[in-house]
Structure formats: structure tokens, C-alpha cells
Structure 1
Amino acid sequence: MSKTLTQLACQRVQALTPYLSARRIGGKGHVFLNANEAPKAEQYELDCSRLNRYPECQPPEVIRRYAAYAGLTADQVLVSRGSDEAIELLIRTFCEPGEEEILFCPPTYGMYSISAETCGVGMRTLPPLPDFQPDVPAILAELSRGKPIKVLFFCSPNNPTGTLVAREKLIPILEATAGKSIVVVDEAYIEFCPEASMVDLIRHYPHLVITRTLSKGFALAGLRCGFTLANPEVINLLLKVIAPYPIPEPVAQIAAQALSPEGLDTMRSRVAWLNRLKAELKAELAQQPCVQSLFDDHGNFLLARFDSGSALFAAMVDAGIILRDFGSKPMLENCVRITIGDEAEMAAVLDVLKRL
């Protein structure tokens, strides 16, 4: 008897549970605050005269402008299809399937595990400390156990807790992993707290890698454009693995405009506006009886612990407001994440909260 098409797939793919992005989860409503997207889009120009040609693998103007923005040189920057592709490239480049593993500290971004599973690479997880900082002694001890840990992922600001990895926590890990592992700091939300970036440490620790994106502060989630910042040796290794034409021509054109001086000014104005709305929402949430506690606020979202997260989530759904329920994640019982939207969207959230 012939096998079904599903049975023909790799065993690891058959067993894989896909990452439940906000779009896959869906939901019926008119206010979507579940994907950490910017509330408004900008307008860009598009030159279609080159669409008959394959694009550059690494568009020079995009690379040049992002390097200038990040304070690096062009040979320290790689552009990819979102930082999700960067995560998978790092695993594919540095981990032997079945022989080496990655390490991360949940609750955190779900694509670290999905990318590892897709690549057939094992995972090691360690819970963070109660303040959601990495447990450095536990991590250092784990490095000497079992299969080699080749890539360590730290999200800062962390999604969904909003926590920043403290520099004094990261440096001992960098010291211990030199010559043994790649340490990745995922800075997808760094535009909302640029002073907290670890990018300056790349010159001291050649195995440190920073991943970035245009999805959040730049309001270009639909563009799928991300960056890897690392020393040139790492970048050259990733260039061996990345697809020949990863960045479509329209993406390159829009990314270059977003990274122009005018585009950077627009981004910074947007971030200031969203940070102000976030501070206002946090102050209001702190006054609500149903809110038990509020987490750090270093991204474009707030995570809050409610008396009943499921009841709060359901009440929002009834009002057409879709948030993200994290109550099933470790250490996050009754926690719901709220993306910072515009003034009207934040007012709608508060209206429901005040009626609970």
C-alpha cells in the first residue's frame, strides 16, 4: 500500500506544530492589537522599471544605509526576509542537525524553537529568574552538559515580557562562550529603547550577533525585511547559506526609503508617539482593579497580569478587540499582551477595562 503524502514528509515535519502567528490565530474584530504591528502605514514610491531583472542578493543601498543607522560598516550587515529568516540562517549555519543544540529562555519569541525543529536541531530551555533576567549560573552550567550548545538566543526587549537583558548578565555569557558558541541578541523592538542596544559589544566579542527588523518601529511588518549585525566572518558564513535572491526589488526600494534621513525622522517621530501612548495606557492600567501587575514596557506593547486573563480576553473579543493571550506560557498565568495602537484603539481598550 502506498504511503500518504503526509507519510512521505520528514518525520520531524510530520511532528511539527507550526508557529501560531497572530494572523494564523485570527479572530473576528475591528481592532487588532495582537501582533505588535504599527497602527498606521506610510506611503512609498516604487520604480517598476527593474522588475524584469533578478534583484541583488544584498542590495547595496539598503546595506549601506542600515550600516550607517546601526553604527557599523557594510561588511557587518546582512539583510534577509525578516529577522525570522535570520534566526533560521544562524541555526542552519552553525548547528549540525542531531548533533548540536540551541538554548533559549522561555517565555520568549516562538520562532527560536520552530526554526530549530524545522532544521532538525535540538533545543535546550532554561527558565529565567523571577525578574525575567537570564539565570547566568544555570546557563553556564548547561554549556558543559550533553550535546554542544552552538547558538544561544536572547530577546531584548523580550517578547512578550518587554524585559531588557541586563548588560551585566550578557557579558559573563559572552565570556564563557567565546570560541565555542554564537550568542544572538534579538533586538526586534530596539527602536523603542535604542539606548539599550548591545550592538557596540560586537567589536569586543566576535561571536555576538544582533538581529533586527523593519517590522516594528519602522512600521513595515508587511515588507518582511530584517537584518543580521555581526563581524564580517559571521556575515560571510551566512552568505553561503542564504538564498540567491532573498530580497525582492520592491522590498529593497521601500527599505532604502525607510532608511533615508527622512525615513529615519519619520520612524523616530512614530516611536515617540507610540511610547507616549504606551506610558498613558500603562498609567491607566495601573489604576484598574482587575490588573494584578504590569510587566516592563520596552517594546511597542504592554503585558499585564489580570485577575482572569481569559475573562479579560473574552470581554475584549466581545467588543471587537483582539489581543494576545499568553496565559498558557510558563510564568505567564492570566497574562494578556496589548499592542500599542492609536489613540482611538487605546481608548476602546480602556473603555472595556473600566466596564469589567
Structure 2
Amino acid sequence: MSAVLSLVRPDLRGFAGYKSARSEALQGDVWLNANESAWPNPADGQGRSRRYPDPQPPALRARLAQLYGVGPEQLLVGRGSDEAIDLLVRALCVPGQDAIVVTPPVFGMYAVCARLQGAPIIEVPLRESDAGLAADLDAIREAALGQGAKLVFLCSPSNPAGSAIPLDEVAALARALEGRALVVVDEAYGEFADGPSATTLLDDHANIAVLRTLSKAHALAAARIGVVIGDAELVAVLQRCQAPYPVPTPCADLALEALSDAALAQTRERVASVRSERSRLQAALERTPGVRRVYPSQGNYLLARFDDAEGAFRALLAAGVVVRDQRAAPQLGDALRITIGSPAQNDRVIAALDVREQAA
């Protein structure tokens, strides 16, 4: 048994999963094996939704693999990164026994999925430093080894902190946890970051998995297309645990169009614009009275602390600008997270906060 397969729940290592009608490699021109309607719905002009979709659309899977520089067998397509997180927790964690490690303040779905699975949650908070809010890799390693963690979730760039984890630190953690835990690097905002992807570590570290999504840089949040990338044996197990037909045909078709060379070129231009606007908005916020600190960010957002976060939140709402209130999150009782918008939208943020200060 391979080291990565040994991390899977013992009762799921040989689990066959559900065999859907579309999982059978059969040929024919009259399809009567899935109890589908013989006619399209009147509202479905192109008739794309009458048939169940392929569980893993081959063209989309191949294009995503090409985009991320991996083999198709190393990649599983699903309903956004959320499904991938849930699959990893369910496939690896024995309820009440195998824990996960998270680094609050951080994306909440890791803990939600663990809670639903009955997996203990080990928290290793981000550390405040001159450079920002950063993951404590030494503490993460000790917690994972000492408390029986099966999964370690690293959000890089971190949401909401914006900090990224150097790949050499990710690799060192994977080496320390080899045979003990899977290191999951969530790169939902990877397109906006400076460094390379953790997918470059996969050849040397079978206990690393990477999450990517089309929701952010590729502007397909409603299509719900995300992937988990990792060792082919692990991906095969996750696919057997996945519910049937995870990718609707219209969503797969849209994603393929969004990954055309022309669309990717425009996406790269927009990512460059976001990175430029991120710097501009950060500088403007740092000059704004009442802004206590703006954290450097590798994502498409900025985390800022305010002397009066409630006043800032209300001033932005009054100007029609909705931002994410982070005050309920650990360590962030005075903070708001602001997504980088278009230049005009960012100007409205700056104007709303300046007006608030002038009125005060």
C-alpha cells in the first residue's frame, strides 16, 4: 500500500462507490439506460440538460490539467473548492478520531466540513508580525504530530489575511508529516499571488494536495467549478466518494469557453489590473485617517483595521459599497475585508471613507 493511500480511512480504501449510468463505457445511439426523458424540456432550447452529464467531463478535465500543469489523472473536478474540502475530510478522517489543523482567522469551510464529519479541529492561529498575519509552520507541525491530525489545511494566499506561505516551508511540512497527514494547500487566490503554485511540489511529495477554483480570477463563481489536484491514487479514492454527476453540462461548457486561449488572455489582463489596483487601494487606505493598518495581500482583497470599524462599515454601506465584516473572526475585532473592484469601484471605497473622516 502506498503512503498516501494509507492516509485514507481503512473502510474506504477498497470502496467502489456508486456506478452511475454514465460511468459505463457503452456505445449506442438510443440511450435507454438512465431513465431520462426522451424529449428535452420546452425551456431547454439546445437540449443540453436532458441527459445526465459525464461524471468527469473529459475535455474540461484535460483543459484544467493543462492549465495547472498536471496530468488529468491527478485532478478531480467538483462543485467548487467546497466539495473538494468535504471529500477530503470524509475520505481521510475517521469520525471522532482523525483531526484536521486550521489556521484562524481563515476560510470557514474547513471547520464546517470537519464538524459535519465529527473530526476534531486543531487551531493554530496566524501570528501577527511586522510582515502581516502569517502561518506558524513550526507550531502547525507540532500540533499535527502531537494531536493526531490527518489533514492540515493551508490557505495560501490566506483568506482573509492575504499572506502566502513560501513553498519551501510547505515542502518541509510535508516531509515532516509524510505517512502521517496530508497537507492541503488552498490556492483559491493563486492567480493573484507572486510565487509559483504548490502543484510544483507534487512530484516529490505525495502527501500534498492543492485546491484551485474558477470562481475568483476566472469570474465563474456561479458555475461552481473547483478542483483538487494530487496523487493519482488519492484522486481515484475521492472520485469514488463523490456524488454522481457533479458538473452540470452547461457549467462544463461555460468553463471550457472560459479556458479558451482568448478568454485566458483577457483573464490575465484583468488579474494584472487587480494587482495594480490592490497596490493603489492599499496606498490610499494607508493615507486615510482612522485606518489603523492595511495588511499586504497576495489575494484580490485587502484586510484593514480601523479605529472605528463600525463607522467605516456603515459609511461604506451608505455609499452603496458592501464589504466583508470580519469583526467576529478571531484576532479581527476591528477589521474589514475589502475585495479589489474595478478602478471606479475602488474610487467609491476611498471616497466613502474620506467623507466619513471629514464628517467626523
TM-score between both structures, scaled by the size of structure 1: 0.84
Paired position in structure 1 for 2:121:
123
Which residue among 91, 99, 102 is the counterpart of 2:100?
Answer: 102
Paired position in structure 2 for 1:12:
none
Instruction: For 2:227 and 2:141, locate their aligned partners in 1 and report how far apart those are by CA, in whole Å.
Output: 28
Contact 1:157 1:189 in 2 (8 A): yes
- CA deviation after TM superposition for structure 1 residue 47, in Å: 8.5
Moved more, 229-238 or 122-131: 122-131
Contact 2:145 2:180 in 1 (8 A): no
Q: How does 1:53-92 map to 2 (within 5 A)?
A: 53-92=51-90
Instruction: For 2:246 and 2:141, locate their aligned partners in 1 and report how far apart those are by CA, in whole Å.
Output: 36
SS of residue matched to 2:217: coil
Instruction: For 2:336 and 2:61, locate their aligned partners in 1 and report how far apart those are by CA, in whole Å.
Output: 37
SS of residue matched to 1:292: strand
Instruction: For 2:45 and 2:211, locate their aligned partners in 1 and report how far apart those are by CA, in whole Å.
Output: 29
- CA deviation after TM superposition for structure 1 residue 129, in Å: 2.3
Instruction: For 1:260 and 1:119, locate their aligned partners in 2 and report how far apart those are by CA, in whole Å.
Output: 38
Two-structure CA RMSD over aligned residues (Å): 1.5
Paired position in structure 2 for 1:267:
267
- CA deviation after TM superposition for structure 1 residue 145, in Å: 2.8
- CA deviation after TM superposition for structure 1 residue 264, in Å: 1.2
Q: Deviations over 1:203-246 (max 9, x none)?
A: 11001000011000001111111011111011101011011100
Instruction: For 1:165 and 1:48, locate their aligned partners in 2 and report how far apart those are by CA, in whole Å.
Output: 45
- CA deviation after TM superposition for structure 1 residue 319, in Å: 2.0
After TM superposition, where is structure 1 displaced by more than 6 Å over at least 4 residues in a row?
Answer: none
Within the alignment, does 1:201 sit opposite 2:208 as a pair?
A: no
Paired position in structure 1 for 2:237:
237
SS of residue matched to 1:321: coil
Paired position in structure 1 for 2:139:
138
- CA deviation after TM superposition for structure 1 residue 194, in Å: 5.8
Q: Deviations over 1:245-294 (max 9, x none)?
A: 00000011011111121221121111112222222111211211211111
Moved more, 164-173 or 294-303: 164-173
Within the alignment, does 1:352 sit opposite 2:352 as a pair?
A: yes
Unaligned runs of 5+ in 1: 1-45
Higher relative contact order (CA 8 A, sep 6+): 1
Change (3 A) 1:256 1:320: same
Instruction: For 2:146 and 2:179, locate their aligned partners in 1 and report how far apart those are by CA, in whole Å.
Output: 17
Identity among equivalent positions (%) equals 37
Between structure 1 and structure 2, the one with the greater Rg is 2
The one-letter code matched in structure 2 to 1:67 is A
Contact 1:164 1:196 in 2 (8 A): no
Change (3 A) 1:320 1:62: same
The one-letter code matched in structure 2 to 1:271 is V
SS of residue matched to 1:322: coil
Contact 2:144 2:152 in 1 (8 A): no
The one-letter code matched in structure 2 to 1:111 is M
Contact 2:292 2:307 in 1 (8 A): yes
Q: Deviations over 1:148-190 (max 9, x none)?
A: 2101000000000110012233222111111111110000001
Paired position in structure 1 for 2:109:
111
Unaligned runs of 5+ in 2: 1-43
Q: Deviations over 1:82-125 (max 9, x none)?
A: 00100000001111111111111101101001111112211111
The one-letter code matched in structure 2 to 1:140 is R
Change (3 A) 1:57 1:194: farther
SS of residue matched to 2:338: strand
SS of residue matched to 2:135: coil
The one-letter code matched in structure 1 to 2:199 is V
State how many pairs are aligned.
Answer: 310
Q: How does 1:1-356 map to 2 (within 5 A)?
A: 48-131=46-129, 132-146=133-147, 148-193=148-193, 195-355=195-355, 356=357
SS of residue matched to 2:127: coil
The one-letter code matched in structure 1 to 2:90 is R
The one-letter code matched in structure 2 to 1:159 is N
SS of residue matched to 1:48: coil
Paired position in structure 2 for 1:8:
none
Instruction: For 2:279 and 2:76, locate their aligned partners in 1 and report how far apart those are by CA, in whole Å.
Output: 34
TM-score between both structures, scaled by the size of structure 2: 0.83
